[in-house]
Chain A
Amino acid sequence: MWHHLKIFGLFVKIGLMRQMAYRPHFFMMVAGKIIRIGLLFFFFQAVFLKVDRIGQWTFDQVLLLFATFHMVDFVMSITFQRNLSFHLPRLIQSGELDSRMILPANLLFFSSFEGVDLMDFFSFLPSLGFLGYVFYRIGFHFSWYQVTAYVVLLINALVLLFAMVLMISTVSFWTTQSYGMARIFDNLLKIGRYPLDIFWGFWKIVFVYFLPLVLVAQIPTQALLQTPSLKLIFFAFGVTFVFLILSLRFWKAGLKNYLSAST
Chain B
Amino acid sequence: MRAIRAQNLSKTYSFYEKEKGIKGSLRGLFRRRKVLVEAVKEIDLDIGVGEVVGFIGPNGAGKTTTLKMLSGILYPSGGQLEVLGFIPFKREKAFLKNITLVSGQRSRLFWDLPAEDYLSFLKVVYEIPEDVYRQNLQSLVRLAEIGEILRVPQRKLSVGQRRRCELVAALIHDPKVIFLDEPTNAIDLMNARKIRQFIKERGKEGRYCIVLTSHHMADIEQVCERLIIINRGRIVYDGRTQDLTRLNGLNKQMRAVLQDPFAVEHVGRLGKIIEKNGQEILLEVEPHRAASVASELLANFSVKDISIMDPPLEKIIESIYEGRRPG
Could you list which residues of chain A lie within 8 angstroms of chain B, going by C-beta atoms? 3, 6-7, 10, 14, 17-18, 21-22, 95-96, 98-99, 101-105, 107, 255-260, 262-263
Contacts and interface: CB of A to CB of B under 8 A. Distances in A.
Given A98-B103, A258-B74, A259-B13, A104 B97 contact: yes
8 contacts: A3-B124, A10-B121, A18-B113, A102-B101, A104-B126, A259-B13, A263-B106, A263-B181
B40 to A, nearest CB: 13
Given A17-B117, A263-B181, A102 B99 contact: yes
Nearest to A9: B124
A99 B103 CA distance: 9
B266 interface: no
Given A258-B74, A259-B74, A98 B68 contact: yes
Interface in B153-178: 153
Contact of B112 (A18, A99, A256): A18
Interface in B126-180: 126-127, 153
Contacts of B73: 98, 101-102, 258, 260
Interface in B70-98: 71-75, 89, 91, 93, 96-97
A3 B72 contact: no
B113 A102 contact: no
Given A104-B96, A263-B103, 18 more contacts: A3-B127, A7-B124, A10-B121, A10-B124, A14-B110, A22-B112, A96-B108, A98-B106, A102-B100, A104-B93, A104-B125, A105-B125, A256-B75, A257-B75, A259-B13, A260-B68, A260-B73, A263-B181
Nearest to B94: A104
Shortest beta-carbon contacts, A-B, top 10: A99-B108, A263-B105, A104-B96, A21-B112, A256-B75, A104-B93, A104-B97, A101-B73, A98-B73, A18-B112
Given A101-B72, A102-B101, A258-B73, A263 B125 contact: no
B161 to A, nearest CB: 18
B106 A14 contact: no
Most A-side CB within 10 Å, residue of B103, B110, B125, B182: B125
Nearest to B179: A102
Contacts of B15: 259
Interface residues of B, number: 34
Contacts of B72: 101-102
B64 interface: yes
A21 B113 contact: yes
A255 B75 contact: yes
A169 B327 CA distance: 55
A14 B93 contact: no
Contacts of A95: 106
Contacts of A256: 75, 89
Contacts of A6: 124
Interface of B: 13, 15, 64, 68, 71-75, 89, 91, 93, 96-97, 99-101, 103-106, 108, 110, 112-113, 117, 121, 124-127, 153, 181-182
B11 to A, nearest CB: 10
B68 A21 contact: no
Nearest to A110: B125
A26 to B, nearest CB: 12
Contacts of B89: 256
Contact of B110 (A18, A22, A105, A262): A18
Contacts of A101: 71-73, 91
B32 to A, nearest CB: 11
Nearest to B74: A260
A118 to B, nearest CB: 15
A60 B71 CA distance: 56
Contact of A262 (B64, B74, B96, B127): B64
Contacts of A10: 121, 124
A258 B74 CA distance: 7
B71 A14 contact: no
Most A-side CB within 10 Å, residue of B68, B110, B113: B68
Contacts of B153: 21
Contacts of A260: 68, 73-74
A22 B111 CA distance: 12
Given A263-B103, A263-B182, A107 B113 contact: no
A103 B64 CA distance: 18
A259 to B, nearest CB: 6
A28 to B, nearest CB: 16
A248 to B, nearest CB: 15
Contacts of B103: 98-99, 263
A178 to B, nearest CB: 16
Most A-side CB within 10 Å, residue of B13, B72, B112: B112
Nearest to A262: B64
Contacts of B75: 255-258
